[in-house]
Chains A and B, each alone.
Chain A
Amino acid sequence: MKAARILGALGAAVFLAGVSAAHADATLDRVKSRGTVVVGVILSGPPYGYIDPATQKQAGLNIDLADEIARRLGARLETVAVTPANRVQFLQQGKVDLLIPNMQLNPERAEIMGYVPTPYGDAGGGFITRKGSGITQWKDLKDKTVCVSQGSNYAKPLAEEYGANVKGMPSQPDSLLALKAGSCFASVHDSAGLHLLVEDNPEWKDFELPIATDLIPLPSVIWVRKGEKDIENVLDGFVQDWYRTGWLFEVTRKNRIKITPLLEEWQAKYPAAKK
């Protein structure tokens, strides 16, 4: 028993030493000394992050934001494709400097990671299913098999509040594939992407988003390692500036994302500089 305790304490000490060593190496200094900023992005489809079929290059709102951050930091951008299931670990283990994976702010996440206080957008869950499902509201989902991404913040409300049988697939494309294959009754992901999917893609013409309201719409923020205030502050300045210059609305519209009332509210806080 005593030996086990000592072993446990030893393990914890080694673990904590590792954590504090990571903290001593502040992200901002590292970005400057390397000349490269490593950003974790999700490539799950338009409009947030995807590979443009025409150019074979990464595109989408999250890539545009990452590009702009790198430009402002005077660093080269290196993107790392993460998945909802592994993004937190990629950040915590230092494989990426920051995350722009279209990940919304909630208390659980705020407890384990740091974030840029000013949001750059907002997103809620959309519900995609075959036409003629008879579903019109979230509470119709009781006992239905609903697929989400592993790590999605929609899993909890779907299961606990609406009693759906939630299945977490490795990523959004897997979930949508399972929906098509009939293994899921429906899939729930960020609504903007799903709207584009049924509008643009003839392969999805038999599917629809029959629920008008979004599930738990929340602000989207840029995530950094916990306690790294210096990079938080610098990035916060960038985001506020994006509102002031109007660049954020421009790039949001360019990526065919709707300007939501919430986004307009934030814009009002940082009015465009008068010349």
Chain B
Amino acid sequence: MSESWLPAFVAAARSVGLNYGFLLNAFERAAWIDGVVVSIELSALGIVSSLIVGMVIAAALTSGRPYLDRPARAFVELVRNTPTLVQIFCAFFVVNMLISQALGGPQNNPLTAYAWVVIVLSLHYGAYHAEALRAGIEAVPRAMRESAVSLGFSRREILTHVELPLAVRFAWPSLVNNMVDLVKATSLGSAIAVGEVTYASLMIWVNGDNVLELMIFILLVYAALTLLVAGLGTLVENRLRMPGYGQ
């Protein structure tokens, strides 16, 4: 492996007073790179599953059936009105313990801290997506819905073929906003020892004198990830644009 540039980089950084010595320690370097990979994984898993959750909740919210929209509304309010970090703690320390007890001991519980971060972020941002999508569904012109009804579309067909395709377009900028937020929220995993990049950096700087150096790296990683998500968002937005509609 050609890693001759690493010592050169570390030496150059040292000459301007920055201590990147951890890059030369195989153990710490591997842990840090692993952290970047986990951050990317958490972001990708979180974005996909939060969108699925968001669509389900948005469908329930706009169903017009009280037994669906009331619980969905309650869920959205609960999730929006409590801090994400508290939800992660609550899931990891309380819900996880209850599940362990119900399954007859922690050894039978398959849910790891990693899984809890994905679950909590998906539900949390799913609720935000749902509100954005609801706004999109409600912005679908009444005439369009009525035409679909008169063509004999069922309720579900109207949702999947008429309302959601338009709603996603209306809601897309808000959805991208939520996704960028989700990427940043993966750093909360550090509070329950999920080895993402914030945690990996933290575990290195608590034993050294390189907070500033690692902070710079962390900021660069998150900036790159969020820019990527926002960039892909714009790409999709242009792809989805219907000529002559909404402009």
Contacts and interface: CB of A to CB of B under 8 A. Distances in A.
A and B pair up: yes
Interface of A: 5, 8-9, 11-13, 15-16, 84-85, 88-89, 92, 108-109, 111-112, 147, 150-151, 153, 155-156, 159-160, 167-170, 177-178, 180-183
A156 B93 contact: no
Q: How would you classify the secondary structure of chain A's contact residues: helix, strand, loop or mixed?
A: helix
A136 B243 CA distance: 71
Given A181-B93, A182-B100, A5 B203 contact: no
A152 B214 CA distance: 19
Nearest to A169: B193
Interface of B: 16-18, 27, 92-94, 96-97, 100, 105-107, 109, 112-113, 191-193, 199, 202-203, 206-209, 211-212
Nearest to B16: A8
Contacts of B202: 85, 150, 168
25 contacts: A8-B18, A11-B16, A12-B18, A15-B212, A84-B206, A88-B209, A108-B207, A109-B207, A111-B209, A112-B209, A153-B207, A155-B207, A156-B207, A167-B113, A168-B206, A178-B92, A178-B193, A180-B97, A181-B92, A182-B97, A182-B106, A182-B109, A183-B96, A183-B106, A183-B192
A245 B212 CA distance: 44
A181 B96 contact: yes
Contact of A150 (B18, B92, B109, B203): B203
A123 B202 CA distance: 24
A178 B93 CA distance: 6
Contact of A169 (B17, B100, B192, B208): B192
Given A12-B17, A169-B193, 6 more contacts: A150-B193, A150-B203, A153-B207, A168-B199, A177-B93, A181-B96
Contact of B193 (A5, A84, A88, A147): A147
Nearest to B199: A168
B38 to A, nearest CB: 13
Nearest to A5: B16
Contacts of A88: 206, 209
Contacts of B208: 108, 112
A218 to B, nearest CB: 14
Nearest to B95: A181
Contacts of A167: 113, 193
B58 to A, nearest CB: 33
B97 A181 contact: yes
Contacts of B192: 169, 178, 183
Contact of A183 (B92, B105, B203): B92
Contacts of B27: 159-160
B16 A12 contact: yes
Contacts of A8: 16, 18
A85 B206 contact: yes
B207 A151 contact: yes
Give the residue among B107, B202, B209 with the most A Cβ atoms within 10 A. B209
Contacts of A13: 17
A82 B167 CA distance: 49
A88 B27 CA distance: 22
A9 B16 contact: yes
Nearest to A226: B209
A147 B106 CA distance: 15
Contact of B17 (A16, A109, A147, A182): A16
A13 B16 CA distance: 8
A15 B112 CA distance: 41
Contacts of B199: 168
Q: State the 4 A-B residue pairs at the shortest beta-carbon distance, nearest first.
A: A182-B106, A12-B17, A151-B206, A167-B193
A9 B92 CA distance: 44
A108 B208 CA distance: 7
B97 A168 contact: no
A170 B17 CA distance: 29
Nearest to B99: A182
A128 to B, nearest CB: 14
A192 B100 CA distance: 29
A177 B109 CA distance: 16
A11 B211 CA distance: 15
Nearest to B92: A183
Contacts of B16: 5, 8-9, 11-12
